Structure 1
């Protein structure tokens, strides 16, 4: 059994846990150092659990998010180097609770048009959610186990999916603290922000109100190049066509916000129908899914606006329609 006797990390638990009057949030430097210690394996599980839950109670600040992300990016910089440039980083960590992961079709269509996309995520097996990893495994797309496989998949499809634990087992273990603690931690924000393959663009889906602003504010301090963030379906980067969506964009050193009106005026979501054939039938053109059509279209339009620096909703939709019309229908294992 390893005994952690040093005080290098305990100072941060003390800062966070000194009570209502004595506790404070971490500075960027403190958060970066604390995260670096955890990633190096120099922190006891009890310490990291206490640390994350103390922050979870009040939610992470922008400065803490920046510090955690800087540490994660530096840690990954020597681990995730690819021999190919990635255009779009697409974290997918939330899972879908009451609909299918339609955003996967949006990503595949964009990839089919030449955009190189790496999607990464993590599954909690006991939760009643459909994670994109499961959908991908059932649709004939390879789940990458290594960086070499990511490069092969990008060469073949312009798309690759790799589980978080295959990117780094330490980060995967941090996510799995939820099994012990019973709650998700701010690590969920870090894995969305970290952009492990240093793509030119990144799209973040969030669930809770205010986290879109937190992400965009952190992107500013991190001096990121091009990021889209919005409150998506169940927290994934998927536009829910039955609700208005506010898109936050950080690009060219400027933040901008735009609101798109809901595309579906009637309720067309099929909560009790999570049959993956809905995805394949819609992709292959065998059957038009009324909810899926707009979920894919609006999601693809929002991301295309980021990739090609387009602000007009109508222009984004026109581009999305053109990309969709030219998709390779043989990419997925279609039924019928």
Structure 2
């Protein structure tokens, strides 16, 4: 292996006085070396954990993302304009992935949505891929399959493994190292199919600012970031939410009050049939109703340049009312 990567481990690990963060250019080059297979597994683990201890900087995030986007651009080209990039990597711990219904409703209204995610096996979370499989929605494994699904239903889901196996393997370093790495930020930022808009859900305080600041430096066209339910891009109706936007070259934020004054989540009833029942109208879910409504409103506001919470809710209600109630199957098994 090349010794070119060794210097980056040294920069990060020289101790309290000698270490420093990476510049954008250094982070870009380091990620390029990783994705080109020029890094030993020991180097890779040390590199990510040294950054994980203090958390990644804006410059590092920009560099990692630029290198990842460049690397992915050299793969098979989708050849289709996508409206909305929806990364889904956190998993839901104490409720269902209601954001999936929000994404499907937006797709049914004409928004071309590509969702991508990853499953951490053995964790007590419901990852969106599990819900997609249970509802008998297709899983894409190639650009061709994404095209087919977007053409038919305006919605496609693809696992990270099928976007790039190296990124998937780096996510799975959690099993070896015991901690998640900054790759979790990269896969949310990478927008692999160059969509016009992107929505990022984050969990920890400060990561919303990190994402928006990095989006500014990356000159992204349109990004929505907020601290969502368990870290997914889903508005938790039981909490106030601050929505950060980067659009038209301007960063802005707005706060929405919680939609539910009482706790209505059913963390001990995670039957996926609640999703299909709510979609079809067979059974209105008290928590899901507001989670879906507020999430649709937040994303529709980004896409349609609407700022007012009330106006966003009007849009959301129109989108939800006009959905095809027969789209989803009853959960399998």
TM over 0.5: yes
CA deviation string 1:66-120 (max 9, x = no partner): 0000000000012242121100000000000010000000000000000000000
Q: Which residue of 2 aligns with 1:192?
A: 188
Runs of 4+ aligned structure 1 residues displaced above 4 Å come to none
1:247 maps to which of 243, 246, 249: 243
Q: 1:272 aligns with which of 265, 268, 276?
A: 268
Residue number in structure 1 paired with 2:40: 44
Aligned equivalent of 2:170: 174
Q: Where in structure 2 are the equivalents of 1:76-155 lying within 5 Å?
A: 76-155=72-151
TM-score by length of 1: 0.98
Partner of 1:64: 60
Contact preservation (8 Å) 1:284, 1:334:
no
1:162 aligns with 2:141: no
2-structure distance, mates of 1:99, 1:271: 5
| Inter-partner Cα distance in structure 2 for 1:80 and 1:121 | 19
SS of residue matched to 2:79: coil
Can you list the C-alpha shifts for 1:168-222, whole angstroms capped at 9, x where unaligned? 1111111111111111000000000000000000000000000000000000000
Structure 1 counterpart SS, 2:4: coil
Match of 2:279 among 256, 279, 283: 283
Encode CA deviations 1:120-142: one digit per residue, 9 max, x unaligned.
00001111100000000010100
RMSD, aligned CA: 0.7
1:22 maps to 2:45: no
Is the 1:107–1:117 Cα contact (8 Å) retained in structure 2?
yes
Residue 330 of structure 1 deviates from its aligned partner by 1.2
On the 8 A contact 1:80/1:167 being kept in 2, the answer is no
TM-score by length of 2: 0.98
CA distance in 2, matches of 1:235, 1:298: 16
1:202 corresponds to which of 186, 190, 198: 198
Could you tell me which residue of structure 1 aligns to residue 50 of structure 2?
54
Distance 2:204 2:119 in 1: 19
Unaligned runs of 5+ in 2: none
Deviation, structure 1 residue 7 = 2.0
2:256 maps to 1:233? no
CA contact (8 A) 1:90 1:204 kept: yes
Please say if residues 80 and 196 of structure 1, whose CA atoms lie closer than 8 Å, have aligned partners that are also in contact: no
Provide the rounded CA distance (Å) in 2 between the counterparts of 1:85 and 1:257: 27
Q: How far is 1:146 from its partner?
A: 1.2
Alignment partners' CA distance in 1, 2:122 and 2:283: 32
- Establish whether residue 260 from structure 1 lines up as the match of residue 272 from structure 2: no
